[in-house]
Structure 1
Amino acid sequence: MPIEQRLTDVSALPPSPGYAHAVTVSGRLAFVSGQVAIDKAGKVVGADDLGAQTRQALSNLHAIITELGADWSDVIRFTWYMLDVSEVQTVRDVRDELIRPALGDAHNPASTLIQVAALFGPEFLIEVDAVVALP
């Protein structure tokens, strides 16, 4: 596997709250475009439901990374874009439901959360992109 280290303990920082501060890799990388809650037919999934939108966006992301021959355990970094970061626990719960089985005891990938004024369309509540270490 190209992920070599998930740095979670840094003496000058408080303990990591469940994600890696940094991830080191070797080999090829894929930079996956941001995904929103659109199904295969191009219809919005989960209008006004952050959990449903997060699940669909991650499902879309997973379809792309599996097409590349990778899985959740190969994700180095997520970047999350949300309209309201006060609802981050909903995103964490869905993320953990979907990716924890692939990670086992490993910490979650490095992660950044950004609150934005708007996304691709007014119906979207969240967007997520990723950097993936290709096996």
Structure 2
Amino acid sequence: MADIEANKAVARRYMQAVVDGDAETIESLQHPDVTWWILGYGDMSRADFIASVKSGLLTAERRHVEIITLTAEGDRVAVEAVSEMTFPDRTYRNEYHNLLVIRDGQIVEGREYMDTRLAAATFG
């Protein structure tokens, strides 16, 4: 049986690591065989996802993520969040819904939904 509170804590740590720009924690919370699917981009490997986060969100001068709701059932944690990232030449604001599957303290699957139009306009 999944430890729902532990899984929710992993999701919170993951979101906080994005705010902190903590690539080491972001990587450590992902299982080596994690799979990601991102709306508008499709399937991504762990390596591609981490590279995308490092070259995108983690380059912001300031990062703010507010968790609006966090709901868990079994090994699944749903996180609704709003973000604001400040870059030297622009500010990126978006709303997210992340569905994370967590087992043994690591994310084994992630699905990310966002306004892809905003992401494309900001990151190209």
TM-score normalised to the size of structure 1? 0.27
Of the two, which has the highest radius of gyration? 1
Query: Structure with the greater relative contact order (CA < 8 A, sep ≥ 6): 1 or 2?
Result: 1
Greater strand fraction, Structure 1 or Structure 2:
2
Which has a greater percent of helix?
2
TM-score (norm 2): 0.29
